């Protein structure tokens, strides 16, 4: 069955006037481009359209080209050969030539991704440009400053939920379909100002059946970045772009692998391409297995490179809209949500108690899983140290029976610690008594030396003092003994504690 064109392309506005709620930006772009066309190139020969994803920047460039008769030369800023390519085009005449070819407009997307090393050269090219250069960026301040200095900024607003709903209704009318109002509200809310995300969600919901809409959107909310990241991985043939796409996805590599694994057959259609993609996946799987067995987590990087870049370049992709499916192995939505919540709460505890950054804490959690699986005694110490609850222990151990054993052991440690606390208090008390007895004895000694007391009285008092001393010594002895047997706990506060603090013991 041929796949339908993505609605984000099908319904991309062709005219500047159709672009929603960016009037001021459009006005600035028009004035700038008209200056070029009137033979009076603006002082700043480049524009930076800056604003959130899915707010209409790319759409503006193409609508502008359409209205004013430009040919768009689209270049990607992260491409290593960008400089060479721009150089080729900036010097081309911008007026229509006698063969009736279009004027050229250079569009440099992701200008916040330009290699800093090339920024100076590109800035020089802007000075020499004979064609309009328009750049787009989500983060204006991440565009290299040499380039910012040469370009005029045009700001794009984040679209409101109202703008998004209006745009979605327009699409539905043209498709001749209706969708319940609540679903539209839900989509607009989840989109967070990104109309591209909203249109993709609408198409997903309509294709998959409106009855599942709420579930799909809820899933999408928690897994937002993975849907977006995978759509990017599967849309590119560029290894570097595929690797960059998954940065910031809050997931372990083996989870991500399941997602990629699930979606390969929907992206490729030729058997040899599917085989190549699975070859990359199985190599990633081998790296992950090795990392798990040996603890060499640096292998994660190779694994993620294989599953992203390796899969992205595996062959010819199907054309059109890519719907990303969640892996079947992550069964019920609720289950995965609970697991995620548990994982987050454990990671937070590791970060707090061990003074670690999130990434490090995630890695530590991996070690903890191995410890909980193989060494219940050590695991029990971690339970106490991190103040984990039973659910969290079950999550880390991955097995209810193991979790019970660890939990019972941790209770014993808690009890011991509690006794230790009491003993410490008693030792402090006994120490105090000992001090007092010593002081009294010393006083006595001094009095005796001065010969100011009677012999009989001296003896009685001396006997009492010695008795007190002995009693106090007796009391303190078991406390000292217990003290020396006390469980060693790594210091909680101050310097970052590592797993090695435990493993060294
Ligand atoms: N202001 C808008 N008016 C109408 N449609 C819009 C608007 N903004 C975005 N869209 C729609 O959303 C989709 C994505 O828009 P566009 O490619 O222009 O986003 P962008 O701002 O360039 O995002 P990014 O920074 O991610 O490249 C397009 O299909 C377009 O139809």
Instruction: Note the pLDDT tens digit of each residue in 87-108.
Output: 666 665 444 444 445 678 889 8
Between 254 and 164, residue with greater pLDDT? 164
CB within 8 A of 13, min separation 6: which ones? 19, 56, 59, 63
76 close to ligand 1 (CB < 6 Angstrom): no
Specify whether 33 is located in the same domain as 139: yes
pLDDT in tens, 120-147: 888 888 888 888 899 999 888 888 999 9
Which of ligand 1's atoms lies nearest the C-alpha of 156? 21
Q: What is the pTM of this model?
A: 0.51
- Does the residue 325 lie in any domain? no
Q: Which of 138, 155, 172 is the last residue of a domain?
A: 155
pLDDT in tens, 279-297: 999 899 999 988 888 877 7
Write the ipTM. Answer: 0.98
Q: Is 359 exposed, middle or buried (0-12, 13-18, 19+ CB in 10 A)?
A: exposed
Q: Mean per-residue pLDDT for 266-279?
A: 86
Q: Mean per-residue pLDDT for 325-333?
A: 55
Of all protein residues, the one whose alpha carbon is nearest to atom 7 of ligand 1 is 56
CB 151 within 8 A of CB 46: yes
Q: Within a 10 A sphere around the Cβ of 350, how many other Cβ atoms?
A: 23
Domain coverage including residue 200: 161-222
Specify whether 105 is located in the same domain as 197: no
Q: Which of 25, 58, 62 to mutate to test the pocket of ligand 1 (most atoms within 8 A of CB)?
A: 58
Of all protein residues, the one whose alpha carbon is nearest to atom 4 of ligand 1 is 19
- Does the residue 365 lie in any domain? no
Q: Which of 104-108, 285-289, 320-324, 388-392 has the lowest mean pLDDT?
A: 320-324
Specify whether 190 is located in the same domain as 255: no
Q: Which of 10, 26, 29, 59 to mutate to test the pocket of ligand 1 (most atoms within 8 A of CB)?
A: 59
**What is the whole-number distance in angstroms between the Cα of residue 196 and the centre of ligand 1?**
6
Q: Residue 159: is its pLDDT beyond 80?
A: yes
Q: Within a 10 A sphere around the Cβ of 31, how many other Cβ atoms?
A: 11
51 in a labelled binding site? yes
User: DSSP letters along 400-445, please?
Assistant: HHHHHHHHHHHHHHHHHHHHHHHHHHHHHHHHHHHHHHHHHHHHHH
Specify whether 30 is located in the same domain as 149: yes
Q: Residue 329: is its pLDDT beyond 80?
A: no
- Does the residue 478 lie in any domain? no
Q: Are strands 46-50 and 151-155 parallel, antiparallel or unpaired?
A: parallel
Specify whether 230 is located in the same domain as 218: no
Buried b vs exposed e over 256-283: b needs ≥16 C-beta within 10 Å? bbbbbbbbbeebbeeeebbebbbebbeb
CB 83 within 8 A of CB 118: yes
Q: Which of 178-182, 414-418, 430-434, 499-503 has the lowest mean pLDDT?
A: 499-503
Of all protein residues, the one whose alpha carbon is nearest to atom 29 of ligand 1 is 8
- Does the residue 422 lie in any domain? no
User: What CATH number should be reported for the domain holding residue 71?
Assistant: 3.40.50.300
Report the C-alpha gap between 151 and 133 in whole angstroms. Answer: 9
CB within 8 A of 17, min separation 6: which ones? none
Specify whether 114 is located in the same domain as 61: yes
Q: At what angle do helices 195-208 and 161-175 cross, to 10 degrees?
A: 40
The average confidence (pLDDT) of the chain is: 79
Of all protein residues, the one whose alpha carbon is nearest to atom 31 of ligand 1 is 12
Q: Which of 103, 130, 155 is the last residue of a domain?
A: 155
54 in a labelled binding site? yes
Q: Which of 105, 125, 155 is the last residue of a domain?
A: 155
Of all residues in the chain, the percent with pLDDT exceeding 70 is 77
- Does the residue 273 lie in any domain? yes
Q: What is the pLDDT of residue 495?
A: 47
56 in a labelled binding site? yes
- Does the residue 182 lie in any domain? yes
Specify whether 200 is located in the same domain as 266: no
- Does the residue 264 lie in any domain? yes
57 token code pair: 């920047």
Report the C-alpha gap between 76 and 201 in whole angstroms. Answer: 26
Q: Which of 48-62, 130-144, 214-228, 421-435 has the lowest mean pLDDT?
A: 214-228
Domain total of the chain? 3
CA-wise closest residue to 68 among 134, 147, 140: 134
**What is the whole-number distance in angstroms between the Cα of residue 58 and the centre of ligand 1?**
6
- Does the residue 414 lie in any domain? no
User: What CATH number should be reported for the domain holding residue 181?
Assistant: 1.10.8
Specify whether 142 is located in the same domain as 76: yes
52 close to ligand 1 (CB < 6 Angstrom): no
Q: Which of 98-102, 152-156, 160-164 has the lowest mean pLDDT?
A: 98-102
Of all protein residues, the one whose alpha carbon is nearest to atom 25 of ligand 1 is 53
Specify whether 134 is located in the same domain as 41: yes
**How would residue 412 be classed by pLDDT, with cut points 50, 70 and 90?**
very high
**How would residue 83 be classed by pLDDT, with cut points 50, 70 and 90?**
low
**How would residue 64 be classed by pLDDT, with cut points 50, 70 and 90?**
very high
Residue 193's alpha-carbon distances to 188, 198, 480, in angstroms, are 8, 8, 65
Q: Residue 86: is its pLDDT beyond 80?
A: no
Specify whether 177 is located in the same domain as 278: no
**How would residue 260 be classed by pLDDT, with cut points 50, 70 and 90?**
very high
Q: Residue 484: is its pLDDT beyond 90?
A: no
Specify whether 177 is located in the same domain as 122: no
Specify whether 83 is located in the same domain as 100: yes
pLDDT in tens, 223-241: 556 888 898 899 888 888 8
Q: What is the pLDDT of residue 149?
A: 93
What number of CA atoms fall less than 13 Å from residue 323's CA on the CB side?
A: 14
Q: Within a 10 A sphere around the Cβ of 51, how many other Cβ atoms?
A: 22
6 close to ligand 1 (CB < 6 Angstrom): no
């Amino acid at each position: 069955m041929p796949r339908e064109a993505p609605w984000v392309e099908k319904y991309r506005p062709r005219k500047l006037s159709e672009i929603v709620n960016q009037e001021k930006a459009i006005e600035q772009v028009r004035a700038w481009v008209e200056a070029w066309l009137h033979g009076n190139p603006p002082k700043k020969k480049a524009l930076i359209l800056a604003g959130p994803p899915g707010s209409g920047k790319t759409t503006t460039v193409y609508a502008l080209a359409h209205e004013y008769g430009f040919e768009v030369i689209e270049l990607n800023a992260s491409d290593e050969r960008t400089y060479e390519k721009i150089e080729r085009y900036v010097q081309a005449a911008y007026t229509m030539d006698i063969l009736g070819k279009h004027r050229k407009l250079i569009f440099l997307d992701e200008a916040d991704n330009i290699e800093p090393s090339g920024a100076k050269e590109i800035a020089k090219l802007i000075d020499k440009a004979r064609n309009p250069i328009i750049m787009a960026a989500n983060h204006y301040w991440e565009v290299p400053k040499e380039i910012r200095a040469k370009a005029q900024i045009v700001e794009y607003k984040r679209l409101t939920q109202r703008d998004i709903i209006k745009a979605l209704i327009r699409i539905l009318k043209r498709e001749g379909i209706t969708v319940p109002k609540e679903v539209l509200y839900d989509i607009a809310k989840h989109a967070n100002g990104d109309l591209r995300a909203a249109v993709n969600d609408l198409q997903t919901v309509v294709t998959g059946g409106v009855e599942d809409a709420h579930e799909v959107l809820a899933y999408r909310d928690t897994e937002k970045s993975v849907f977006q990241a995978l759509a990017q991985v599967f849309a590119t043939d560029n290894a570097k772009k595929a690797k960059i796409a998954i940065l910031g996805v809050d997931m372990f590599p083996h989870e991500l692998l399941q997602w990629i694994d699930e979606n390969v057959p929907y992206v490729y259609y030729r058997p040899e391409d599917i085989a190549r993609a699975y070859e990359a996946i199985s190599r990633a799987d081998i790296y992950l297995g090795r990392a798990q067995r040996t603890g060499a987590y640096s292998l994660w990087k190779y694994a993620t490179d294989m599953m992203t870049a390796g899969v992205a370049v595996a062959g010819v992709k199907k054309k059109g809209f890519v719907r990303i499916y969640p892996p079947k192995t992550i069964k019920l939505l609720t289950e995965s949500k609970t697991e995620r919540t548990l994982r987050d709460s454990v990671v937070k505890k590791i970060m707090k108690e061990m003074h670690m950054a999130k990434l490090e804490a995630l890695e530590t959690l991996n070690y903890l899983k191995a410890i909980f699986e193989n060494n219940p005694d050590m695991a029990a110490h971690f339970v106490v140290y991190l103040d984990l609850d039973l659910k969290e222990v079950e999550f880390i151990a991955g097995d209810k029976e193991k979790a019970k054993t660890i939990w019972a052991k941790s209770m014993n440690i808690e009890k011991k610690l509690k006794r230790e606390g009491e003993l410490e208090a008693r030792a402090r008390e006994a120490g105090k008594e000992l001090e007092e007895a010593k002081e009294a004895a010393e006083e006595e000694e001094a009095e005796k030396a001065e010969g100011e007391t009677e012999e009989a009285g001296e003896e009685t008092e001396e006997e009492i003092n010695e008795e007190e001393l002995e009693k106090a010594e007796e009391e303190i002895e078991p406390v000292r003994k217990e003290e020396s047997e006390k469980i060693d706990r790594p210091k909680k506060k101050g310097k970052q504690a590592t797993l090695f603090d435990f493993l060294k013991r």
